[in-house]
Structure 1
Amino acid sequence: MSSHAVSVVKKGVNIELVSVLWMVIEAAVAIGSGIIAHSLALVAFGADSIIELIAGAVLLWRLTIEARGASLARVNRAEKISSWVVGIALLLLAVYIVVASIDKLWTHQGAESTYVGIGLAIASGIIMPILSRLKKKIGVEIGSKALRADGACSIVCAYMAWTVLAGVVLTALFGWWWVDSIAALALVYFVVKEGWEAVQEARGKEGACGCCHDDCC
């Protein structure tokens, strides 16, 4: 690998490190504020961040090894295992969101106003598209499908943040008890899509096109 290629890969390592650190903050704040405000949408958003953190950490490991010029064979095996873990976890999360949302709607349980949640959703909605562009740019430079696909995954995270933002803002402004559960159900599409694509990738399906695994965007 040339010195220029190594330099670009190191840029990929740095941007992925920033992404992983943000996922840690996002997960902690979303779950913490979600529990305090009884917001299912925020808790689900935080849980998804933890799962994406796992996938991001594996990619960070891969890029680090690539930057050192080592073989990627063992990392590819780890990625496959990670895909199974991430995929199954996301599908289970989707089941939880549906069951919990139906229960909240049935029992008329709403979320409290949470300005911390609003701030987090706004920050994620701004930061993730920036990270997405940087990941895709570096991914093109080093020929990394995984990094380009992770950039697409960051955009999905931004979509989820905007969905959560709509829910917490409407709850804070109008006190609509049912909005949080509806916002949480809206996240199910993204969660199931990511989960199914991760499982397909783990099974070695060539046609699998996921935001976290294949370069389709």
Structure 2
Amino acid sequence: MSAASAAAAAALLRRGRALEGLTLGWNAVGIGVLAIAALRAHSVALAGFGLDSLIEIGASTVVLWELASTGQVRQRRALRMIAAAFTALSVYLLVQTAIVFAVGYRPQHSPLGIAWTAVTAAVMFALAAGKSRTGHALRNPVLIAEGHVTVIDGLLAGAVLASLVLNAALGWWWADPAAGLVIVYYALREARAIQRDHS
């Protein structure tokens, strides 16, 4: 590899690490914001999205390890842990959603939740685009795959945002637990994909 090619590859690696670091930092702040919003509004969707943000932190950490060339065994172990976390998230949300529907509990309006999920959707889509470009330039399938996870995070933010707006504008309280079921679907899909690709 020429000196110019090596320098370009090093720059791409730094960009990949920076994108993952930004994702990790945003989700770390998001956990606190979403916890406050979920407690105030008693929102299943916001609580589920907060837990999803915690799992996204784990996914970003795995990619940072991989970009540092730490070895396949450790990576597979970490990915199995992420798959287990996605499964646990699904079980939690299914139980919570069933309880909400059974008792007919009405979540409150959440201006904080609306603002955070709106901004998060935009940020996640921008980060995903950067990861896709960088991953393809590096020919790094792990970074490309994690970019897909970031797209899902943006889609989930959009789903939760829609549920919060529908509840606030039209009183559709059931949109909140319904958004929780959307997160269940994507969480189970991610768990199956990780187990299939890294078993």
With structure 2 as the length reference, what TM-score do the two structures score? 0.93
Distance in 1 separating the partners of 2:79 and 2:36:
27
Q: Tell me by how many angstroms 1:174 deviates.
A: 2.5
State the one-letter code of the partner of 1:16.
E
**Counterpart contact for 1:80–1:201, Cα < 8 Å:** no
Q: Tell me by how many angstroms 1:169 deviates.
A: 0.8
Equivalent residue in structure 2 for 1:5, among 9, 19, 28: 9
Equivalent residue in structure 1 for 2:140, among 140, 144, 147: 144
Deviations 1:116-135 (A, max 9, x none): 10011101111111101100
The answer as to 2:177 corresponding to 1:173 is: no
Q: Tell me by how many angstroms 1:28 deviates.
A: 1.9
Distance in 1 separating the partners of 2:97 and 2:8:
50
**Other-structure match for 2:42:** 38
Distance in 2 separating the partners of 1:127 and 1:7:
22
Greater RCO between the two (CA within 8 Å, min separation 6)? 2
**Other-structure match for 2:66:** 62
Distance in 2 separating the partners of 1:83 and 1:8:
23
**Counterpart contact for 2:97–2:180, Cα < 8 Å:** yes
More helix by share: 2
Deviations 1:64-112 (A, max 9, x none): x2xxxxxx3x432221111111111111111111111011111011211
With structure 1 as the length reference, what TM-score do the two structures score? 0.85
**Other-structure match for 2:91:** 95
State the one-letter code of the partner of 1:55.
A
Q: Tell me by how many angstroms 1:177 deviates.
A: 2.5
Distance in 2 separating the partners of 1:129 and 1:57:
19
The answer as to 2:198 corresponding to 1:202 is: yes
**Other-structure match for 2:118:** 122
Equivalent residue in structure 1 for 2:25, among 13, 18, 21: 21
- Where structure 2 has 5 or more consecutive residues not aligned to the other structure, the ranges are none
**Counterpart contact for 1:27–1:46, Cα < 8 Å:** yes
Distance in 1 separating the partners of 2:72 and 2:33:
32
Q: Percent identity?
A: 27
The answer as to 2:115 corresponding to 1:111 is: no
- Where structure 1 has 5 or more consecutive residues not aligned to the other structure, the ranges are 66-71, 204-217
Q: Tell me by how many angstroms 1:61 deviates.
A: 2.6
The runs of at least 4 consecutive aligned structure 1 residues that moved more than 4 Å come to none
**Counterpart contact for 1:41–1:180, Cα < 8 Å:** yes
Matched positions, count = 195
